[in-house]
Amino acid sequence: MNASVEVLYIAGCGRSGSTLLDNILGQLEGCFSGGELWHIWRRGLIENRRCSDGPAFREHPFWREVFAHGFGGMEAVSAEESDALARWARSLLVSQRYPQLALGRMPDVHTGLSAYRAALARLYGAIAAVSGARLLVDSSKSPVYAACLGSLPGVRLRVLQLVRDPRAVAHSWARHREQPDKGGMMDRHGTLWSALQWRLANAGARTLGRSGDIPHLTLRYEDFVRAPRAELRALLDWLGHDGAGFPFSGDERFLLRPGCAFAGNPGRFRTGLQTLSPDEEWRSAMPAGRRLLLEALTAPELRRYGYAAAVPAGKPA
């Protein structure tokens, strides 16, 4: 990586609105919306999934140019190398490093990762060079992957911790949702899994900002969707972005142009004029017992992020 690359990393738990925010930021001048870039070796090179603007990854002109710039072409990365890089990426999510972060200890992401870190440096440098963007937005979410990125020479990392009510997150994980880029249905998870993932992801994301070396900002999803223009302006002030290409009109609607993300929530395929809403279906659809269990399992963090216990349906607030 020859030049400095600025990366805004969206950290937190899955189903917290990161794809939506990533897409919106990608509409700004000088910003590139990459989606969940940690998936590039598996879902991109190996599985050849469809990008949000239509073409499959290996046929996409932008990604072909990125790999030509950084690696000498997609064909120069063998199937064995792609698989090894994909396994390293996965190890940053499922290994012992994640609990270390959640307990407040920054993991050593240098040990045994030299080839993977070198590939990441080439990848992010190539994305910056080909896109011409001043800011790369990566919504990979994993705090350990963020720590790995922040350890790369030439990467200037900022972390935006996006938090959503854990009851809304759990309700989203329980839904039946189609997976348009692969076929079939997306994974579903139960209450205990959702609560644990929410706590670990947010605890890990908080740790990233404790050293003071990585600029860190927390944004609640609910605050963003209720006042998107004001919250986006505040985020751009924090980033030092001049707001050119600001996507929101005076009536809170915004225009999404097609991007080239190959991984992320199916919402990345949304285009055209859009509006935001809080999406709080869980308040009426979630059984009371499940809600109470989630509140018990996430009680300390509920208070930390300003979420109150829900009022049961039919009772006054």
- Cα gap 83→205, rounded to integer Å: 27
Number of neighbouring beta carbons within 10 Å of residue 227: 14
By C-alpha distance, which of 4, 2, 14 is closest to 177? 14
By C-alpha distance, which of 179, 163, 73 is closest to 126? 73
Which residue ranges in the chain fall short of pLDDT 70?
Answer: 1-2, 95-96, 102, 311-317
Backbone angles phi, psi at 287, to 5 degrees: -60, 145
pLDDT at 316: 44
pLDDT at 101: 72
Distances (CA, A) of 143 to 112, 202, 233: 18, 8, 25
CA atoms within 13 A on the CB side of 264: 29
pLDDT at 184: 75
- Cα gap 95→262, rounded to integer Å: 24
**Helix, strand, coil % in the chain, rounded to nearest 5:** 50, 15, 40
Give me the domains of the chain, ranges plus CATH numbers.
5-304 (3.40.50.300)
Both structure tokens of 96: 């012992």
pLDDT at 177: 81
- Cα gap 147→108, rounded to integer Å: 9
The bridge status of strand 272-274 relative to strand 155-163 is: unpaired
**pTM as predicted:** 0.93
pLDDT at 314: 46
